[in-house]
Amino acid sequence: MASRTEYNNCMKPYISGKGLSKEERQANFCGGAKVCTGKAKNLDEGIKICASEPPKEPKAKRSRGAKCTINAPELAQCVIGGLNLAQLTDDNFQQALEASIGKCSIGKTGKVTKAAPPTYVRFMNNCLKEAGGNVDFVKSQGIIKTCQAEWKVVRDGI
């Protein structure tokens, strides 16, 4: 057949299955498709071709909430790549792991990509909140210098 409309018009008599069983309807539909595509000369030949072919496997169904799958090896490689194993201790292991995981993000496709690095302002705000929140001006100067040193480490990727 040359076009989709011609194929659809050819298939009309084979689509309706009034008074037929499910198996007969499926056989007529498949046989009609073979006739309309030119693979068979008549309906009986088309039905024989359909019967001799193995049935197609059904498409995999996705659950409603599962729009992506996580590529675990790629995610692990991203997380491990973000860790500096030489500087890990029992005290900073959790923080280092959290920071490394934060650098890896998973998009809708499930592909693991490196997240954009935080901005200086956002980093400093988070660091100051974690360090103590509301402290007096004198104490805050030491905390700010510590956070700036941590920012240099993050910025340089050490």
Domain count, the chain: 3
Evaluate whether residue 141 is within a structural domain: yes
Domain check: are 30 and 13 in the same one?
yes
**Structural domain harbouring 141:** 117-158
**Over 80: is that where the pLDDT of 35 sits?**
yes
Evaluate whether residue 63 is within a structural domain: no
Evaluate whether residue 28 is within a structural domain: yes
Model pTM above 0.75: no
Evaluate whether residue 101 is within a structural domain: yes
Mean pLDDT for all residues in the chain: 77
Amino acid at site 133: G
Domain check: are 140 and 100 in the same one?
no
Task: Indicate the burial class of 55 (C-beta count within 10 angstroms; 0-12, 13-18, 19 or more).
Answer: exposed
**Spatial contact of 102 and 93, defined as CB atoms under 8 Å apart:** no
Evaluate whether residue 109 is within a structural domain: yes
Higher pLDDT, 49 or 104: 49
